[in-house]
Structure 1
């Protein structure tokens, strides 16, 4: 793999398109009175449509708080959050994948996907075809009849990703979804998510504490300071998003240089 192979600018799905997410002077506090503390802010951030944005930083820097604000699970104490120009509402504009898969253990893989399709308003007649498409996309063809407790942790997380994709929302939010997985499964799912994002063109916001994961996945990386979280580094990632194998990308000099830069920024921001 040559330097020119890696450093060629990727196609930017968001170029020239409307912004998907906008945060204006966002501050978020928890608690009341003397027990309160500021978790995030102030943060100004714009995410163009089609971008794969990674929020990275040490534990407690406010990464997950920002994701919850974008998802509409919480409202900012000050400032405004807009998703496609409107105030975010839970479940109404984004698919969300958490660190722990939130599946129904008494249902099969098929049942979990079909429930998500039903909530997404997909007609009953179309659900089998749509389910097959989703399971193929996340590499789970052939396991739809198994119960959740009969599949591995990595497969459960794939089901969670498929559920998040079911509604065909233009925004996908992932909160450290691979943190509890073994290294091999984590790398495989990183590649899956990277490919899904490239194929669908969805705007993606991904939370991690890993500099390597951030560089591998992101087309742009935001490093947050220690609490209260503010933007310490806003870094475009000029690596190809398609057409290069995962190992070739990870072993390239450009990848190593970016990983070192992000790692250094995370450590400095946490000091």
Structure 2
């Protein structure tokens, strides 16, 4: 039987460690003049190095906005964001996986990975070995010569994950990467991501609106309130990680209890 630990995360965190994230009094607004819309805030949040944090909440609560702020794609209207102790810059702070794979269709699977390796300044001589390692990590051995349109949507998303891992950055950000996939493919990729991030030890921030997905993936879950998004619940997840039986984990009473708790929190936060 699995056991869970439920409560507030209060221990001190070294925010200078590679992959750690710190948001201090962050508020972000869009628009100007009389058309200003507050998307999130105020938010205070710390993500420990090596942690798998899941941001969950109803549509429009600001989950993706927070992810873009952490990635450095946008700067907060108020407050500060720090990744590994410094202000994040686009393309430098983290590997990012979006809702759609965003692969280059004129390149092969291997060509998409090679491009990411080139931008990551990996030596040309090392690229074939590194490419093979990345594809094996996401279960796509032997596909490097196939065209993007020759593989399934789930496989394309695996390529996108491999590409995000290519730069060897300590932080990985994923914005609802499985939302458009069928249920079976989605569960398989959840297992892949859980396994890969556990083995690499990368800090991961994952955005979803699914309580089930959040509990399965996260070592910690943050539920956001309705817009403007604020932290409604900060929940450490004590379910076992590493090489575990996914079906047994999903069927455990502890998993069911946590899923119900998160689902209730999401609905309450959206209605508040």
Q: Give 1:16 shift.
A: 8.1
Distance 2:33 2:4 in 1: 52
Q: Report matched runs for 1:192-207 at 5 Å.
A: 192-207=192-207
- C-alpha change, 1:257 and 1:8, in structure 2 (3 Å) is closer
Task: Say what the alpha-carbon RMSD is for the aligned residues.
Answer: 1.2
CA–CA distance in 2 between the matches of 1:168 and 1:108? 21
| 1:151-175 alpha-carbon deviations (Å, 9 max, x no partner) | 1000000000000000000000000
After superposition, give the CA deviation of every residue in 1:60-117 in whole Å (9 maximum; x if it has no partner).
0000000000000000000000000100001102000000011100000010000000
* Structure 1 partner of 2:30: 30
Unaligned runs of 5+ in 1: 10-14
Q: Which residue matches 2:82?
A: 82
Written as runs of structure 1 = structure 2, the 5 A alignment for 1:40-119 is: 40-119=40-119
CA deviation vs aligned residue, 1:209-265 (integer Å, no higher than 9, x gap): 000000000000000000000000000001001232000000000000000000000
Rounded Cα–Cα distance in structure 1 between residues aligned with 2:76 and 2:124: 38
Distance 2:259 2:14 in 1: 29
Instruction: Tell me the distance in 1 between the aligned counterparts of 2:52 and 2:4.
Output: 17
Going from structure 1 to structure 2, the CA distance change for 1:17 and 1:195 (only over 3 Å counts) comes to farther
Tell me what 2:251 maps to: 251
Report how many residues are paired: 262
Aligned twin of 2:3: 7
Distance 1:209 1:82 in 2: 25
SS in 2 for 1:233: strand
Q: Which residue of 2 aligns with 1:18?
A: 14
Over 4 Å off, 4+ runs = none
Whether contact under 8 Å (2:72, 2:93) holds in the other structure is no
The normalised TM-score by structure 1 is 0.95
After superposition, residues 140-151 of structure 1 pair within 5 angstroms as: 140-151=140-151
User: How far apart in 1 are the matches of 2:120 and 2:40?
Assistant: 32
Q: Is the alpha carbon distance of 1:81 and 1:180 closer, same or farther for their aligned partners in structure 2, counting shifts above 3 Å?
A: same
**1:86-235 residue pairs with structure 2 within 5 A?**
86-235=86-235
| Alpha-carbon distance between aligned partners in 2 of 1:105 and 1:263, rounded to the nearest angstrom | 38
User: Deviation at 1:122?
Assistant: 0.2
Whether 1:242 and 2:242 are equivalent positions in the alignment is yes
- Measure the CA separation in 1 of the matches of 2:154 and 2:196: 16
Distance 1:16 1:134, change over 3 A: farther
